[in-house]
A and B are shown apart, each in its own frame.
Chain A
Amino acid sequence: MEKPKVATTSLAGCFGCHMSLLDIDDRILKLIQLVDFDKSPVDDIKKFSGDCLVGLIEGGCANEENVEVLRQFRRHCSILIAVGDCAIMGGLPAMRNGIPLQECLDEAYRNGPSVYNPSGRVPNADELPLILNRVYPCSEVVKIDYHLPGCPPPADTLWEAVVALLNGKPLNLPYELIKYD
């Protein structure tokens, strides 16, 4: 029987959630017996080779590329899981949500105390994805099936969730595995 496929991505995240996934340590050997990784930074596959059972999303949507990738994941994955606080509520990048975009760009590229930019230009090359007016939680862009909170979610949380899902069992996380920090 063909193994179910898992895809993962980091949108506007810090890769901390992916590091937490690696924190399952030697259980990663069991994991690759259970699943094949498709598009993911774990195996560096850049494009979907087909449809997947599970998509793990780290990070929220801060630019148009994030939105595009997230929509790709929704199209290709039967079950989409928002992993970590950034995917769930925007996280640290969403701190800019109360500040107008122009002010953010000015602070980052023109007026910030450590900025040296005599031309005063803000990066605007064609290949750069357009930045969004604010950071959007994933559930505001596509339908998300499950949420695993944490910054990052503990490795055990990710392990328990993936194993429960693959075995078709309900996920009952113990008290200590639901954390927002």
Chain B
Amino acid sequence: MSDTITFTVDGVEVTGRKGQTIIQAADDAGIYIPRLCWTKKLKPGASCRLCTVLVNNRPTASCTQPIGEGMVVLNETEQLITYRKNLVEMLFVEGNHFCMFCEKSGNCELQAMAYRFGIAAPKFPYMFPKRELDASHPDIFLDRNRCILCGRCVRASRDLDGKGVFQFVGRGNHKKIGVNAEARLADTNVDVSDDAVGSCPVGAILKKRVGFAVPVGQRLYDHQPIGSDTEAKARRSARGK
């Protein structure tokens, strides 16, 4: 029996390996499904819901759904694009995202997602929540104003670093990133070289003293939308045929 599984994404035939999730198989095929809480190195968290696709007409998180033979996946429908825009806009208004002075600007996945979707301004009212900043650690900032609760640091610290430095605390509106210490990040065993530190898609966890090292115009998403490297793969293989 063959280990390959064939299904379609927006009508395009995609062949993946057994055990892959939709997002993994789509990535390999050069089809970009927007995502914030998922990265290649981590187990899926399925919290941001940006990667929601329609699988046989049912909304499903493509980062957790395994591929199946003959599956019909819809990724870029007008409705799904609207959902994703709304999600990104809601993330912007429910935090304090001051891109103009953020060290992550230009390399930020949340910002890049908004650029990709062509969002000029969120249509929801800004909430200006009061969030805590923790600058206690000599090498690392933790600025909860910018946190989007994707949980990438939680999973990276637990699964890659084997430390469990970060964890969610509270529920609903009060949910925030907590640290494994009485109060401060400085009192944990986190190290600046930890995967958890590099895993943050936004500017919530930052290394100190390296801000603005890359000039405007040379940053990750200054010229090319997020996901275009994945999509370039599909164009290359199409030319090869």
Write the residues of chain A forming the contact surface with B, with a CB cutoff of 8 angstroms: 82, 85, 88-92, 94-95, 97-98, 134, 137, 139-140, 146-149, 151, 173, 175-176, 178-181
Q: Are A151 and B130 in contact (CB under 8 A)?
A: no
Q: Are A82 and B121 in contact (CB under 8 A)?
A: yes
**Chain B residues, CB < 8 A from A95:** 98
Asked if B223 CB lies within 8 Å of chain A CBs, one says yes
Asked if B99 CB lies within 8 Å of chain A CBs, one says yes
Given A134-B128, A180-B105, A146-B98 contact (CB < 8 Å): no
Given A179-B115, A181-B100, A94-B120 contact (CB < 8 Å): no
Q: Are A148 and B120 in contact (CB under 8 A)?
A: yes
Asked if B170 CB lies within 8 Å of chain A CBs, one says no
Q: Are B120 and A181 in contact (CB under 8 A)?
A: no
Closest Cβ of chain A to B188, distance in Å, is 25
Q: Are B100 and A92 in contact (CB under 8 A)?
A: yes
Write the residues of chain B forming the contact surface with A, with a CB cutoff of 8 angstroms: 96, 98-102, 105-106, 111, 114-115, 118-121, 125-126, 128-131, 216, 222-225
Q: For B92, give the chain A residue with the smallest CB separation.
A: A89
Given A92-B101, A98-B96, A181-B100, A173-B118 contact (CB < 8 Å): yes
Closest Cβ of chain B to A93, distance in Å, is 11
Q: For B221, give the chain A residue with the smallest CB separation.
A: A175
Given A98-B130, A134-B128, A91-B98 contact (CB < 8 Å): yes
Where chain B touches its partner, the secondary structure class is: loop
Closest Cβ of chain A to B218, distance in Å, is 13
> Would you mind naming 24 contact pairs between A and B with Cβ atoms under 8 Å apart?
A85-B98, A85-B100, A88-B121, A91-B98, A92-B101, A94-B128, A95-B98, A98-B96, A98-B128, A98-B131, A146-B120, A148-B120, A149-B120, A149-B121, A151-B99, A176-B223, A178-B118, A178-B120, A179-B115, A180-B105, A180-B111, A180-B114, A181-B100, A181-B105
Q: Are B128 and A91 in contact (CB under 8 A)?
A: no
Q: For B228, give the chain A residue with the smallest CB separation.
A: A175
Q: Are A181 and B102 in contact (CB under 8 A)?
A: yes
**Chain A residues, CB < 8 A from B130:** 98
- The docked-state distance in angstroms from the alpha carbon of A151 to that of B131 is 23
Partner of B225, one of A88, A137, A175: A175
- The docked-state distance in angstroms from the alpha carbon of A82 to that of B99 is 17
Closest Cβ of chain A to B220, distance in Å, is 13
Given A97-B128, A134-B128, A175-B225, A151-B120 contact (CB < 8 Å): no
Q: Are B98 and A92 in contact (CB under 8 A)?
A: yes
